[in-house]
Structure 1
């Protein structure tokens, strides 16, 4: 089968894009999901994709909340994601502390932009049972909302939104790194066949290892990202200095699932069932190796 792989077209996806160019649609096709992980999960649910490379926290919280649309099958980025806290260009909000009790913009319910707002509230000591959100779908909608005053701020990956700050469209008022490795791989439990997934993950692992190598980071990675995304070279090098990838994309660290669940439960975003969560429930163990 030819897998339909959903992804977000960001610098993190560079090894995936390199693999896709080499594969040329033989074993998988890419489906771009510009609105992020909330859109990826919706498309998994609606039979529009078979596999999603998406943010760790929404994937895990979706399963915790009972979604049958996917299981975890692998890991993609092993380092935290740095979320910028972004307000309007003429904002009255100067610091994260000023956002208490305001309406935060999110792309979709269950997205990383929402789960990280709960983490931010937890860190600030705010009540998490009455947070106010406004859905704005994508980055353009989110930027418009902070500038028209319908939201106070939104959260998005730092380097993806830095060009908008550099252009004077928004202002960064802080940042919140994820307390967990940032990207994982999920797949529909029946549509995505195990052997096809294993082949995909094995191929992706090779491209991830190459991209992650010191030799490639010095020049080839920089040139690839500059060509594909148009980011300034200094931003690319700054990001490459912070990001890490797994050597085997088919391996999942049990600790990542447990610790993500613990933080999300503490933040009030999910509730543990009687007897607690079972890690095995989150993973397709026929494909992924739990360590």
Structure 2
């Protein structure tokens, strides 16, 4: 039975889409999760997917906060994610400090949009105990919320949001890059057979390597993203200068987990136990190699 692989249909997923086009459902099928990592984790929990390609911080915080629905099995994007801070077209907010004490829009509890709001608060010196959130499900709900005044701002990946800024629907007032590599891969520890997951990740490594090549960055990647996502060539080339993929999707750097946990603890997203964390709780070593 093919693995059910959950993903977010964004430009980051281009190598995955290229892999899926060749595989044609023989070894895996794609399940789109437009609401992002919170939805991916929910679907892993509810037996709707077996594998998720999702944001590093919510995956790690989910395990730290007790989820048994998945373990980390691999790496997908090795560079930080640049989170834009976005407000409505006519709001009074002009910069990140103006948002203190206001209600921030998020897609779902436990999502990257919520985790990064904590990181933003930490950087600004705000108390993380008093942050207020409103759940708005997806990018359209988030945009509506900043324009109807029910939230002050929301956070989403810069280039994904830029078309809405260019169209005059919303405004950028800042950005907060993640202090960690942006995307990891998780799988259900009993439902997803380790050998099938390994085979999937070996294939994904092949497509990530091709996508990451200098030659394809110059031409083929630009055409693929323009065709599939409709972004202007200028934006695609600017994004490609900022992104890198791992040489081996089956490897996870240990420091990615430990350093992410350290920042999340300071932000109040997780609480480190007195005895510390057991790394084996986070990584399925039957599949992934810690480096």
Per-residue deviation, 1:280 = 2.0
Please identify, of 268-277 and 2-11, the stretch whose mean Cα deviation from structure 2 is larger: 268-277
Per-residue deviation, 1:91 = 1.1
Q: Secondary structure at the match of 1:263?
A: helix
- For 1:265, the equivalent position in structure 2 comes to 265
- For 1:42, the equivalent position in structure 2 comes to 42
| Corresponding position: 1:178 with 2:178 | yes
The C-alpha deviation readout for 1:245-275, integer Å capped at 9, x for no partner, is 0010000000000000000000011101120
Distance in 2, matches of 1:189 and 1:274, equals 26
Per-residue deviation, 1:281 = 1.4
- For 2:2, the equivalent position in structure 1 comes to 2
Q: Secondary structure at the match of 2:156?
A: strand
Q: Compute the TM-score of the two structures, normalised by the length of structure 2.
A: 1.00
- For 1:27, the equivalent position in structure 2 comes to 27
Superposition pairs of residues 149-228 of structure 1, within 5 angstroms: 149-228=149-228
Distance in 1, matches of 2:279 and 2:145, equals 38
| Corresponding position: 1:290 with 2:290 | yes
Distance in 2, matches of 1:28 and 1:273, equals 37
Q: Number of aligned pairs? A: 291
Per-residue deviation, 1:75 = 0.2
Q: Which runs of at least 4 in structure 1 moved beyond 2 Å after TM superposition?
A: none
- For 1:249, the equivalent position in structure 2 comes to 249
User: What are the ranges of 5 or more consecutive residues in structure 2 without an aligned counterpart?
Assistant: none
User: What are the ranges of 5 or more consecutive residues in structure 1 without an aligned counterpart?
Assistant: none
Superposition pairs of residues 105-184 of structure 1, within 5 angstroms: 105-184=105-184
Distance in 2, matches of 1:82 and 1:167, equals 20
Q: Compute the TM-score of the two structures, normalised by the length of structure 1.
A: 1.00
Distance in 2, matches of 1:17 and 1:232, equals 19
Q: Secondary structure at the match of 1:129?
A: helix
Q: Secondary structure at the match of 1:146?
A: helix
- For 1:239, the equivalent position in structure 2 comes to 239
